[in-house]
C-alpha cells in the first residue's frame, strides 16, 4: 500500500519539532546551575522574561520581527548559538505598580535566567520619583523572590526626560546588582534624529529597537567577559517592602452604579462608588475601553486626581491612585463626571470598576 507523501512529510516535521524541543529542554536543565552569562557563553538555551510597558512589548515596530526582543533573540543566536525563550508580562500604558500586581497574579514560569524591567515613561505621569522608587524596588524584589537565580536588566527608556526617574532606576539597580541600560545614550550617540528612530517621538521603530537589541547584546557580552555576578537580594533600600498587593471587592456605598457579573458599572455622570480600606497604598481594578469615561477620585474627602478609563481596546487594568497615605482607615470615593479623554470618540461614557487594590503586610 502506498504511503501518502503529505502525511509522511507532516510526520517528519512533527518528529523534528518534538526532538528539537526535547533537545532544548535537556540542554537547559543540564545547565540549570549556570548563570545566564555562563549559559550564553557556552551556547546553552536561556529563558527570559519581560515585565514592562508599551516599549517593553515592542510597540511602534513596523512588524513583529523588528521588535527589540525579536531582534535580540536573532543577535544572541548569531553570537553564541544560544536560543532564547520569552515570557512576557507587558501592558501598554502600564506603571511599575501595575507591573508588580500583574507579576503577582501571573503563573510562575520555570527556570527564568534573565528578567528585563521596562518602566518609567508612564510612571512619571502618575506619581513622583519617591513613589516610583518604592514600587520599582518592590517589583525587583518580587521578581528575585520568584526567580532567585535570575539576572535583572533594568532599562531606562529612550523618551524618559525626567532625570529623577532615571536616577531612581539606577539607584535601585545598583543596590540589587541589577544591570542598568540607559537607552537614551545609544539614541543620542547614533547621530540620528528622534523622528528617524521612533514612530511617534516616543516608541522606537525598527531602527530604534535595533539599537535596543544591539545594546543589550553588548551589555551581555561585556558581563561575560568580566565574569559579572548576577543581581542579588540585599536588605530593602526604601521603607517597608514586606507587602503584597491585594484586591478588595466589597464597596461600602454607591449611588447610580449597578453591579453586573462582579463589575460595578456607571453609564452617566454624577454616580458615586465608595470603598473603605486600611493602609498607605491604593489602586483600582477597572476595565478600560473605547467607551471608557472619566471619574474623579477622593480619599477621605480630599480630591486626588481624575482617572480616564478610555483605551482603544477593552482591557482589565490595575491603575495606580496613591501611596504614602497614613497607616489608618480611609474611604475612597469614585465620582463619574461628564468630561472625557481627548481620545474618546464614542457617544457612550462607561465606568467599570471591579475592586480597589490595597497593600497588605506579609506575614513573617
pTM reported for the whole predicted model = 0.90
139 closest CA partner among 94, 103, 168 = 103
Q: Which stretches of 177-205 are DSSP H helices?
A: 184-189, 194-197
| Sequential pLDDT tens for the chain (364 residues) | 455 666 656 666 676 655 555 555 545 444 568 999 999 999 999 999 999 999 999 999 999 999 999 999 999 999 999 999 999 999 999 999 999 999 999 999 989 999 999 999 999 999 999 999 999 999 999 999 999 999 999 999 999 999 999 999 999 999 999 999 999 999 999 999 999 999 999 999 999 999 999 999 999 999 999 999 999 999 999 978 889 999 999 999 999 999 999 999 999 999 999 999 999 999 999 999 999 999 999 999 999 999 999 999 999 999 999 999 999 999 999 999 999 888 888 889 999 999 999 999 987 5
Distance from the Cα of residue 108 to its chain's centroid:
15
274 close to 296: Cβ distance less than 8 angstroms? no
305 close to 348: Cβ distance less than 8 angstroms? no
Given this chain, do its domains 29-226 and 243-361 carry the same CATH topology?
no
55 close to 204: Cβ distance less than 8 angstroms? yes
CA-based max dimension of the chain: 83
The architecture in CATH of the region 29-226 reads 3-Layer(aba) Sandwich (3.40)
- The grid coordinates of residue 318 equal 490595575
Residue with cell 544591570: 179
Phi, psi of 162 (to 5 degrees): -85, 105
The architecture in CATH of the region 243-361 reads Sandwich (2.60)
Q: Provide the β-strand partners of residue 51.
A: 89, 117
pLDDT tens track for 47-63 = 999 999 999 999 999 99
287 close to 311: Cβ distance less than 8 angstroms? no
- The grid coordinates of residue 41 equal 557563553
99 close to 54: Cβ distance less than 8 angstroms? no
93 close to 125: Cβ distance less than 8 angstroms? no
For the chain, the domains span 29-226, 243-361
pLDDT tens track for 139-154 = 999 999 999 999 999 9
DSSP state of 200: S
Amino acid at each position: 500500500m502506498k504511503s501518502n507523501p503529505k502525511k509522511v512529510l507532516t510526520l517528519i516535521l512533527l518528529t523534528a519539532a518534538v526532538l528539537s524541543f526535547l533537545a532544548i529542554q535537556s540542554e537547559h536543565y543540564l545547565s540549570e546551575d549556570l548563570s545566564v552569562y555562563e549559559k550564553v557563553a557556552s551556547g546553552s538555551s536561556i529563558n527570559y522574561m519581560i515585565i514592562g510597558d508599551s516599549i517593553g512589548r515592542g510597540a511602534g515596530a513596523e512588524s513583529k520581527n523588528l521588535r527589540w526582543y525579536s531582534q535580540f533573540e536573532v543577535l544572541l543566536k548569531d553570537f553564541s548559538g544560544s536560543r532564547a525563550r520569552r515570557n512576557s508580562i507587558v501592558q501598554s500604558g502600564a506603571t511599575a505598580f501595575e507591573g508588580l500586581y500583574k507579576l503577582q497574579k501571573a503563573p510562575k514560569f520555570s527556570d527564568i535566567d534573565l528578567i528585563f524591567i521596562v518602566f518609567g515613561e508612564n510612571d512619571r505621569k502618575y506619581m513622583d520619583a519617591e513613589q516610583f522608587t518604592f514600587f520599582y524596588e518592590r517589583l525587583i524584589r518580587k521578581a528575585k523572590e520568584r526567580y532567585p537565580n535570575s539576572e535583572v536588566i533594568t532599562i531606562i527608556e529612550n523618551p524618559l526626560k525626567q532625570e529623577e526617574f532615571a536616577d531612581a532606576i539606577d539607584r535601585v539597580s545598583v543596590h540589587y546588582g541589577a544591570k542598568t541600560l540607559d537607552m537614551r545614550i545609544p539614541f543620542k550617540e547614533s547621530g540620528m534624529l528622534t523622528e528617524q528612530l521612533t514612530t511617534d517621538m516616543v516608541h522606537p521603530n525598527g531602527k530604534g529597537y535595533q539599537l535596543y537589541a544591539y545594546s543589550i547584546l553588548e551589555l551581555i557580552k561585556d558581563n561575560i567577559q568580566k565574569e559579572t555576578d548576577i543581581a542579588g537580594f540585599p536588605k530593602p533600600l526604601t521603607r517597608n517592602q514586606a507587602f503584597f498587593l491585594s484586591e478588595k471587592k466589597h464597596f461600602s456605598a454607591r449611588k447610580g452604579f449597578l453591579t453586573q457579573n462582579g463589575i460595578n458599572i456607571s453609564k452617566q455622570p454624577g454616580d458615586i462608588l465608595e470603598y473603605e480600606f486600611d493602609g498607605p497604598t491604593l489602586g483600582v481594578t477597572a476595565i478600560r475601553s473605547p467607551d471608557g469615561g472619566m471619574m474623579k477620585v477622593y480619599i477621605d474627602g480630599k480630591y486626588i486626581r481624575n482617572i480616564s478609563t478610555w483605551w482603544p481596546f477593552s482591557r482589565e487594568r490595575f491603575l495606580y491612585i496613591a501611596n504614602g497615605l497614613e497607616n489608618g482607615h480611609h474611604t475612597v470615593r469614585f465620582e463619574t463626571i461628564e468630561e472625557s479623554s481627548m481620545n474618546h470618540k464614542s457617544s457612550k461614557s462607561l465606568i467599570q470598576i471591579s475592586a480597589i487594590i490595597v497593600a497588605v503586610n506579609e506575614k513573617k
